[in-house]
Amino acid sequence: MRHLISPLDLSVTELADILNLAEDIIRDPAKYSECCHGKKLATLFYEPSTRTRLSFEAAMLNLGGSVLGFSSADSSSASKGESVADTIRVISGYADICAMRHPKEGAPLVASMYSEIPVINAGDGGHNHPTQTLTDLLTIKNLKGRLDHLTIGLCGDLKFGRTVHSLINAMVRYPEISFVLISPDELKLPTYIREGVLDKNQIPYKEVRSLEEVLPELDLLYMTRVQKERFFNEEDYIRLKDTYILDAKKMALAKEDMLVLHPLPRVNEIATEVDSDPRAAYFKQAKYGVYARMALIMTLLGVHVD
């Protein structure tokens, strides 16, 4: 039985297979519309979500399966003190696969140890978000035409942003990738990723404070929201939340084919005037999330369509 807890749980080849499957689903969704008939997906969300939970549900429904679950810790037995280990043992008898989001780093990993069904990490604290990464890779591959030879700007909350951590882990495995890490000092990439992933794999990167200065170099700009819910005090959040605001004036400095990605939700970090710029890809990205998750669910359930 396979789980997806970290983006590294999938080899580059397996990842390529999932992306190819997602692309086939995009070309011919009708072919896949009944392939998970009779299968159930449980969504166990202990933290707020719009896109991730609903795109998982849409994915399973598009495959002809059904969904059950909860969308907040308050509405689950976690509020009575039940452990993740006990919850997943029970859910294993109700569903065939589950997606779990949890504020505690490592919770989906613990769940996978007690589970009898595949567990997908749908975001664990400030740690990882592997299905957002699948979404990001599918978006980049389709809109950029490649996953290699890219200068990737990561901007905003690189400390708590789990989407950034997972994306870095996944992208360092492709040739000629370099990163520009754009953040205030307080929100720099954690050492365990800077040293443990970038340095270890000898990936070129630089850390800068100014977005304007580096914009002309980038093939891809990945904007992020300052992760309010992970701050220890509100004052720091208020001071840092609007450090970067991408607007039309800044976009004028970027390459003509630079892609702007954002896992969403956006707060102030991208002005709405950027939405009509053809380089703004974040709403397309959200749509790719459904196809990426369809391909993942099929893969983990071992479902094939000829």
Catalytic residue among 129, 159, 165, 262: 129
Sole residue written with tokens 């599918």: 138
Report the chain's C-alpha Rg in angstroms: 19
User: Cβ of residue 225: shortest distance to ligand NCD, in angstroms?
Assistant: 4
**Interatomic CA distance for residues 288 and 134, integer angstroms:** 9
Cβ 52 vs Cβ 101: under 8 Å: yes
Cβ 205 vs Cβ 181: under 8 Å: yes
User: Which residue from 36, 100, 218, 264 is in contact with ligand NCD, where contact means CB under 6 A?
Assistant: 264
- Does residue 51 have an active-site annotation? yes
Residue 133 binds to ligand NCD (criterion: CB under 6 A): no
User: How far is C-alpha 39 from the geometric centre of its chain's CA atoms?
Assistant: 24
**Interatomic CA distance for residues 32 and 15, integer angstroms:** 19
Cβ 225 vs Cβ 50: under 8 Å: no
User: Cβ of residue 269: shortest distance to ligand NCD, in angstroms?
Assistant: 10
Give the interface segment with ligand NCD, choosing from 142-150, 192-200, 246-254, 262-270 (CB under 6 A): 262-270
User: Cβ of residue 42: shortest distance to ligand NCD, in angstroms?
Assistant: 18
Task: Give the number of other CB atoms < 10 A from CB of residue 174.
Answer: 16
- Residue whose CB is less far from ligand NCD, 255 or 287: 287
- Does residue 249 have an active-site annotation? no
**Interatomic CA distance for residues 139 and 135, integer angstroms:** 6
**Interatomic CA distance for residues 81 and 292, integer angstroms:** 34
- Does residue 101 have an active-site annotation? yes
Going by C-alpha positions, the residue among 136, 140, 134, 93 that lies closest to residue 117 is 93
- Residue whose CB is less far from ligand NCD, 3 or 225: 225
Residue 241 binds to ligand NCD (criterion: CB under 6 A): no
Give the interface segment with ligand NCD, choosing from 64-72, 86-94, 111-119, 260-268 (CB under 6 A): 260-268
Sole residue written with tokens 């969504």: 43
User: Which residue from 3, 40, 51, 102 is in contact with ligand NCD, where contact means CB under 6 A?
Assistant: 51
DSSP designation for 267 = S
At residue 210, φ and ψ (nearest 5 deg) are -95, 125
Residue 132 binds to ligand NCD (criterion: CB under 6 A): yes
Give the three-state DSSP class for 40: strand
Residue 225 binds to ligand NCD (criterion: CB under 6 A): yes
Give the interface segment with ligand NCD, choosing from 2-10, 74-82, 208-216, 259-267 (CB under 6 A): 259-267
Interface size with ligand NCD, residues (CB under 6 A): 11
Give the interface segment with ligand NCD, choosing from 34-42, 186-194, 208-216, 263-271 (CB under 6 A): 263-271
Catalytic residue among 3, 39, 40, 51: 51
- Does residue 243 have an active-site annotation? no
**Residues found near ligand NCD in the complex (CB under 6 A):** 51-52, 123, 129, 132, 162-163, 225, 263-265
